[in-house]
A = this chain, B = another copy of it.
Amino acid sequence: MSTVDRAPASTRLAQDLRRSVMRLGRRLRQMHEENLGLTANQLSLLGVLVKLGPSTVGDLAEVEKVQPPAITRTVKALESLGLAERTADPEDGRRSVVATTERGRGIVLADRRRRDRWLVKRLAELSPEERRVLAEAAPVLLKLADA
């Protein structure tokens, strides 16, 4: 790791942090993939729908940082699985409003619980001191991400 060893001290933290966050993030994301027939994308969009409530295609595209056609396609898939529904906006005929079905909502919540269980188990293997460090770090990480 010569690139790391000879790094100026000021970038050392950045490198360590990037490595650790990327790796744990990848791991958490992998937990996703083995869900029912759902892909990570479909699950992610469903999650947004649960969080925001019924939304237009444009809103979803913006949140997912994706172009509208990508949303159209994924919504179509969710619809055919009975996990989401599309209805015309009564106030503006151009827009179509997407919402989760009850089943869709249930899947999102179940998936979230499942991933939390995995992480809870890993956290339980740490020392109280290590857990304290993570608890302090979480809000700082959020602040970084939103900067």
Q: Enumerate chain A interface residues (CB-CB to B < 8 A).
A: 3, 10-11, 13-30, 65, 109, 112, 115-116, 119-120, 122-123, 125-126, 130-131, 133-147
CA distance A113 to B54 in the complex (A): 41
For residue A13, which residues in chain B have a CB less than 8 angstroms away from its CB? 123, 131, 134-135, 138
Q: From DSSP, what is the main secondary structure of chain A's interface residues?
A: helix
For residue A29, which residues in chain B have a CB less than 8 angstroms away from its CB? 22, 25
For residue A22, which residues in chain B have a CB less than 8 angstroms away from its CB? 25, 28-29
The 8 closest A-B pairs by CB, nearest first: A25-B25, A137-B137, A20-B141, A24-B145, A23-B145, A14-B119, A16-B138, A20-B142
Q: Quick one: copies of this chain in the complex?
A: 2
B18 x A135 contact (CB < 8 A): no
B126 x A143 contact (CB < 8 A): yes
A23 x B142 contact (CB < 8 A): yes
CA distance A134 to B19 in the complex (A): 13
For residue A16, which residues in chain B have a CB less than 8 angstroms away from its CB? 135, 138-139
6 contacts between A and B (CB under 8 A): A14-B119, A19-B138, A25-B25, A27-B144, A133-B136, A134-B141
